[in-house]
Amino acid sequence: MRVRSATRCWPRTRARSRSTHSGKGTWTLTSGSGTFADAVANDGLATYTYSAADLGTATFALSYPTGATPIDVDAYVTATPATRDDDTESTLAWSPSGFTVTASALSNPPPNPINDPITTKTAGTSFNLNLTAYGQTPTDPLCGVIETYTGAKTLQWWSTWQNPATGFVTPTIGATAIGSSSGAPTSLAITFTNGQASVTAKYKDVGQMAISMRDATVSPAVAGASNSFVVKPADFAITAVTTPALVANPGVSVPTGAIFVAAGDPFRVVLEARDAEASRTQNYGRETPAEGIKLTASSLVAPVGGRNGTANDGSIGNGSAFGATAPNGTFVGTTFSWDEVGAVQLSASVADASYLGAGDTLGTATGTVGRFRPHHFDVAYNTPRFQTACSSGAFTYVGQSFDYAAAQTPVLTATARNTAGSTTQNYAGTWMRMTAGSLTGLAYSAASGAVSPSAPNAPLVTAAGAGLASVAFSNGPTEAFARAAPVAPFQADLSLALNVLDLDAVAYAANPARFGVATLGNGIAFTSGKELRYGRMAFSNANGSELAALAVPLTAEYWTGSLFVANTADSCTLVPIAELARTPSPVGLVSNPTIANSPLASGAAGLSLSATGAGNTGYFALSYDLSTLTGAGLDFLRFDWDGNGTYSEDPTGRATFGIFRGDGKTIYIRELY
């Protein structure tokens, strides 16, 4: 237990002292706005009721002219005396004379009380200790500065660690390291003038301590000590920033170039607690309770005007997760994270913002740390719809082109996220790295049949707000299901898939993203039905009198799975008369065609040929050009009429005028099929 000397004839400044336990001493209030009372002079007792303005601290002075020595100054709660201080201040030994240690030189005569303690110091920075020989002498019973104590004096010096209780270095007086205990002091020659001297001290470590001295060449010895004071670190110097795998920070602050880690992913930092001369302060972290270190993003380097983390306060995930490592004064953490996109500077400070209650130390900021990219994308979809080719019939022919309905094209919104799933709002402007070229795997798939082309045009990719990218598809090229041999009607359940990626390979975890699913009933919607019908356009032969118009069936049909039947749902297909070809036999035979229904009515064109006239008998070989290149653009209604395995032939038929049954009573006959 540390013993400190004090002169009996002068008050000493003590904080929160209430009882001397000796029945002697008079207390006075030095600082504090609460209620103070020393009811009986020189009984060693006083009471104090704190006020909110004190913030838990008040200062008292003790006058102790007589009584036992040493004494234990104690503070306790009046209502519960068992609640008392922990005696870390040690005891006070009183003598007729001693050294008073102050931050500044004392006036002579000194103030009453003397209240000029050594305040918080910075490790590695020089500070003054002012010594005053104070008290009584055999020839001068009055207390005061002992002015006869002058000239070169040999004083013994030592320091006392208080928190932590041990250390690696001791303070220096001048350039000489002093002892670490009263039993092993260091002797130094100090020159006094009229009872006062000033020395330069420095402590190249941190903690709470006191510096003691005595002149053992006189009897009784003249001794003294500083008040307990705190020395805090000068800097937290970050010496390495790497990934957990020890890949160095690239220091990139533009949207291109090497990536450090993803937003929210861990990185590693090594730092040293240092004094003002860049030496490690080996005691840091050995206090009771141990002081920690907090890492922050002290400034946002890029993007300009962006957000410094999700909370926009520079918070670093697991920011206090430092652990001590060799050599002493070195600390490392491997689980730090910054949860935005961009680049920052890092700095460190005392974890609780006050080293041993003496204030914070803000470390030197690093250079650029970055760049940070998003961790992943989440996606959201609109609800696209294909335009049913024949809306009124709620079907589309196999091989017929179709596209998205107006204003119902697919739009995907990708949201950039950090590891925890929060939006990285800095992923915007030039820091938004998604392009049409970065997307891959654009493809259609179908539950039944095969669609062509197999992929849409490249989408338009634009920034859609803080952390958002819009992927918008336009109409074209039109789609069609591949057409070959007849197939039964089926549902057009289509899916559009793409891999959502940006130029940094940031991905949607569930890639590929999909509009619709290529399973029955789960594909992209159609405006009025998604049935696909395998169709053909067919003629039926006709014959009749040359004296009357002749109706020639030209009908849209579809395959039911077992036969072709009239597609009565088709009231959509246009059949312009110009694509009808007629070859007369004999050559001079004349008849004018008309098509009553274009578009078809219940699948029928309503084709008829005008009467050829009395005596003008013969036939017309008919064909209808369905080709896209030269005809009606209805290739999807062609068929393999000659059975050669190709489904690209136009329909043909014959209309015959002047055919009779041979019975004179039969004027007109028509075959029905």
For 597-612, the pLDDT digits (tens) are 999 999 999 999 999 9
Torsion of CA 235, 239, 241, 244, to 10 degrees: -110
Mean pLDDT of 256-265: 97
**Residue 329 is encoded by which pair of tokens?**
């004064």
Fold category of 235-373 in CATH: Immunoglobulin-like (2.60.40)
pLDDT surpassing 90 at residue 9: no
Which one-letter DSSP state was computed for residue 329?
T
Mean pLDDT of 77-104: 79
pLDDT surpassing 60 at residue 1: no
pLDDT reported for residue 17:
43
Start-to-end C-alpha separation, the chain: 123
Predicted confidence (pLDDT) per residue in 419-476, tens digit: 999 999 999 999 999 999 999 999 999 999 999 999 999 999 999 999 999 999 999 8
Predicted confidence (pLDDT) per residue in 364-415, tens digit: 999 999 999 999 999 999 999 999 999 999 999 999 999 999 999 999 999 9
Q: Where are the domains of the chain?
A: 3-231, 235-373, 377-529, 535-657
Pairing of strands 525-526, 385-386: parallel
Assign 79 a pLDDT band (cuts: 50, 70, 90).
confident
Tell how far CA 406 is from the center of its chain: 37
Assign 630 a pLDDT band (cuts: 50, 70, 90).
very high
pLDDT reported for residue 44:
84
Assign 2 a pLDDT band (cuts: 50, 70, 90).
very low
**Residue 625 is encoded by which pair of tokens?**
């050009």
Higher pLDDT, 146 or 9: 146
* Beta bridge partner(s), residue 304: none
Assign 27 a pLDDT band (cuts: 50, 70, 90).
confident
* b/e burial code for range 445-459 (CB count within 10 A of at least 16 → b): bbbbbebbeeebeeb
Predicted confidence (pLDDT) per residue in 112-162, tens digit: 888 999 999 999 999 999 999 998 655 555 678 999 999 999 999 999 999
Sign of CA dihedral 416, 417, 423, 427: negative
Q: CB-side exposure of 612: number of CA atoms within 13 Å?
A: 23
Read off the amino acid at residue 89: E
pLDDT reported for residue 83:
84
**Residue 340 is encoded by which pair of tokens?**
């935005």
CB 527 within 8 A of CB 386: yes
pLDDT reported for residue 12:
36
What is the residue-wise DSSP string for 628-642?
TTTS-S-GGG-B-TT
pLDDT surpassing 60 at residue 61: yes
In Å, what is the CA distance from 484 to each residue of 47, 388, 398, 431, 640?
105, 21, 9, 49, 9
pLDDT reported for residue 669:
58
pLDDT surpassing 60 at residue 664: no
Q: How far apart are CA 342 and CA 254, in angstroms?
A: 8
Mean pLDDT of 615-632: 97
In Å, what is the CA distance from 38 to each residue of 9, 60, 76, 80, 627?
19, 11, 15, 19, 115
Mean pLDDT of 482-496: 97
List the single range of 133-137, 340-344, 580-584, 635-639 with lowest mean pLDDT: 133-137
Higher pLDDT, 566 or 4: 566
Mean pLDDT of the chain: 92
pLDDT surpassing 90 at residue 672: no
Long-range contacts of residues 240-245, Cβ cutoff 8 Å, at least 24 apart: 240/268, 240/269, 240/270, 241/267, 241/268, 241/269, 241/346, 241/366, 241/369, 242/267, 242/268, 243/267, 243/268, 244/268, 244/334
Higher pLDDT, 457 or 9: 457
Mean pLDDT of 578-582: 97
Q: What are phi and psi of 542, to 5 degrees?
A: -140, 150
Residue range 535-657, CATH number: 2.60.40
Asked if 235-373 and 535-657 have one fold, the answer is yes
**Residue 659 is encoded by which pair of tokens?**
């055919």
pLDDT reported for residue 71:
83
pLDDT reported for residue 668:
58
What beta strand segments (E) does 216-364 contain?
222-225, 229-232, 235-242, 261-262, 267-274, 293-302, 323-325, 330-336, 342-350
Asked if the peptide bond before residue 289 counts as cis, ω within 30 degrees of 0, the response is yes
Q: Which residue has the tokens 């022919």?
A: 397
How big is the chain by its Cα radius of gyration, in Å? 50
Instruction: Name the region of 391 (left: φ>0; alpha: ψ -120 to 50; beta: rest).
Output: alpha
Assign 95 a pLDDT band (cuts: 50, 70, 90).
low
CA angle centred on 482, ends 478 and 488, rounded to 5°: 120
Which one-letter DSSP state was computed for residue 422?
-
Tell me how crowded residue 429 is: count the other CB atoms within 10 A of its CB: 13
List the single range of 5-19, 88-102, 112-126, 402-416 with lowest mean pLDDT: 5-19
pLDDT reported for residue 266:
98
In Å, what is the CA distance from 573 to each residue of 71, 352, 389, 459?
113, 79, 9, 31
CB 413 within 8 A of CB 470: yes
Q: How far apart are CA 66 and CA 96, in angstroms?
A: 10
Which one-letter DSSP state was computed for residue 501?
B
Read off the amino acid at residue 603: G
Nearest to 283 by CA among 321, 245, 230: 230
pLDDT reported for residue 22:
77
Write a three-state SS string for 119-156: CCEECCCCEEEEEEEEEEECCEEEEEECCCCCEEEEEE
Nearest to 4 by CA among 72, 93, 115: 93
pLDDT surpassing 60 at residue 8: no
